[in-house]
Amino acid sequence: MGWPTDPAERKRRKHAEYVKHRIEYLERNAAYKKTPAGKVADRNWRLKKRYYVNGATWDSMFKKQNGVCALCNERPAKHTDHCHVSGSLRELLCQKCNMGLGMFNDDPYLLMRAVKYLIKHNGTRNRQPQPKVVS
């Protein structure tokens, strides 16, 4: 019998096979994701799908930043910041800084207005800016 040559029929048959054995496929996939190899594969798939980079690229960025946020230089960098218009990767940020940029819709003019607002109402917090560590 074999697989049909018509792509639409192949797709229909493959989907029917998946539906028939869906539970087994999902269980097998969930078990694989718990293995060390599965965790690496899942991470690489997510990075590639969301940011078009592989795990090695992300790891080199993490190492270059010494594992800390590119903005505050204080907390661990666990979030991948990217441009929502072009999709290009920027740098790695902590959750707090990443969410802060998101709340301002990644708009530099709105962020500058927020800085002016904070300075107007309570000056600076007598905090020296942290030097950015570059290796």
pLDDT in tens, 3-41: 788 899 999 999 999 999 999 999 999 999 999 999 999
CB 39 within 8 A of CB 49: no
What is the Cα–Cα distance from 1 to 134, expressed in whole angstroms?
62
For CA atoms 132, 73, 134, 83, give the dihedral sign.
negative
Domain architecture of the chain: domains with CATH: 7-51 (no CATH), 52-125 (3.40.1800.10)
Q: What is the structure's pLDDT at 57?
A: 93
- Please, which residues have CB within 8 angstroms of residue 43's CB and are 6 or more apart in sequence? 55
Residue-wise pLDDT for 90-106, tens only, equals 999 999 999 999 999 98
Which helix (DSSP H) or strand (DSSP E) does residue 118 occupy? helix 108-122
User: Residues in the chain, how many?
Assistant: 135
pLDDT in tens, 105-125: 989 999 999 999 988 887 666
The predicted-structure confidence for 57-85, as pLDDT tens digits, reads as follows: 999 999 999 999 999 999 999 999 998 88
